[in-house]
Amino acid sequence: MALISLEDLDGLDDEQLGGNFTDNTEPMDEDDRLLSHWQAVASTHQVSVPPDMTGPIHEMTQNHQQREPLPFSPISRHEKMGEVLFEERLYPAGHWACVTRGEQLYEQSISNGFMKLMRFICKENSAGRFLGMTVPVVSYFRLTADRDAFEKEVETAFFLPAQFQSDPPRPSDPDITIVHREPIRVVARTFFGTTTEETVSRQVRLLWELVGVAEELQGDAYMVAVYENPSVPRRRNEIWFIRRQL
């Protein structure tokens, strides 16, 4: 979940801001409008955004330009008639901030997990400062034994910005862990729209159809990378297949 800017708010109508403020005769300030927008977006995932998220939302909005792209080395690209079907990439080793949630729905887990990460980014850390963030934000999920559904526990994570890789700040929230991971090699395919269990399942099936039989790829665990603002109708996401460790 990247962030909506203050400028973006000017283009939102009452319905996009939740539709429940029209009877309020007092004008909303920017923080109220941001909170109501996040609440409206979160409601589509059946998640509530509490009022005490106003501070982190404001902090990240004010600093929305402080986002670093997650670096990677391209390995291969597969195209058909000019369309990129999927790419293979290598992401470097490094420290990730991770939180695991086990809500009823996948989309609830990633939304609640990211709100915890927002607090960590926004001064609830041992450095006592805004950390900045990297994109994409990545979720990791596993399938049940019969591979017909998602397991409840979903990990949401982001790669720490470069300046904190050598000395990661400690989270105030005990649910957040800082994990050093070895390089990860993935097969990635772009898709657009929302990231729900239904839409992600569809993308998993589609990529398997394109890749075919590939025993070197994990078949029971996947990653979803989210790049853009949740209010963008066709926001950019990717499904990642993970190459097995040799």
Provide CB contacts within 8 A for 209, sequence distance 6+.
Answer: none
Q: Could you tell me the CATH number of the domain that includes residue 209?
A: 3.20.80.10
List, in order, residues 6 or more apart from 115 with CB less than 8 Å away: 49, 53, 56
Is the model more confident about 221 or about 15?
221
Compare 44 and 184 and report the one with higher pLDDT: 184
Give the integer Cα–Cα distance in Å for 154 and 110: 7
> 143 in a domain, yes or no?
yes
- Whether residue 239 lies inside any domain: the answer is yes
Residues 6+ apart with CB under 8 A from 236: 190, 192, 227, 228
- Cα(162)–Cα(67) distance, rounded to whole angstroms? 11
Q: How many domains does the chain have?
A: 1
Residue 132 maps to a domain: yes
Residue 165 clears pLDDT 70, i.e. is over it = yes
Does residue 28 lie in a domain region? no
Higher-scoring residue by pLDDT: 150, 38: 150
Alpha-carbon distance of 60 to 30, in angstroms, equals 13
Nearest to 127 by CA among 168, 184, 162, 71: 168
Position 191 pLDDT exceeds 70 = yes
- Per DSSP, what are the bridge partners of residue 225? 138, 238
pLDDT at residue 5, rounded to an integer: 39
Range 201-206 average pLDDT: 96
Instruction: Tell me, yes or no, whether 27 lies in a domain.
Output: no
Q: Per the domain annotation, does 6 fall within a domain?
A: no
* pTM for this prediction: 0.82
Res 30 pLDDT > 70: yes
What was the pLDDT predicted at 234? 79
For residues 211 and 217, is the Cβ–Cβ distance under 8 A?
A: yes
Look over the chain and give the mean of its residue pLDDT values, rounded to a whole number: 84
Residue 34: the pLDDT is: 74
Q: What confidence score (pLDDT) does residue 55 get? A: 75
CA 225/CA 204 separation, integer angstroms: 13
Return the pLDDT at 134: 93
Domain assignment present for 42 = no
Mean pLDDT throughout 9-22?
41
Q: How confident is the model at residue 28 (pLDDT cuts 50, 70, 90)?
A: low
pLDDT at residue 218 greater than cutoff 80 = yes
What is the domain range of residue 178?
A: 67-243
What is the helix (H) or strand (E) element at residue 73, kind and residue range?
A: strand 73-80
Q: Looking at 42-46, 79-83, 226-230, which range is the least confident one? A: 42-46
Residue 18: inside a domain: no
Beta strand spans in 104-153 (E): 133-135, 137-142
What is the pLDDT confidence band of residue 229, given thresholds at 50, 70 and 90?
Answer: low
Asked if pLDDT for residue 9 goes beyond 90, the answer is: no
Q: Is the peptide bond before 174 cis (omega within 30 degrees of 0)?
A: no
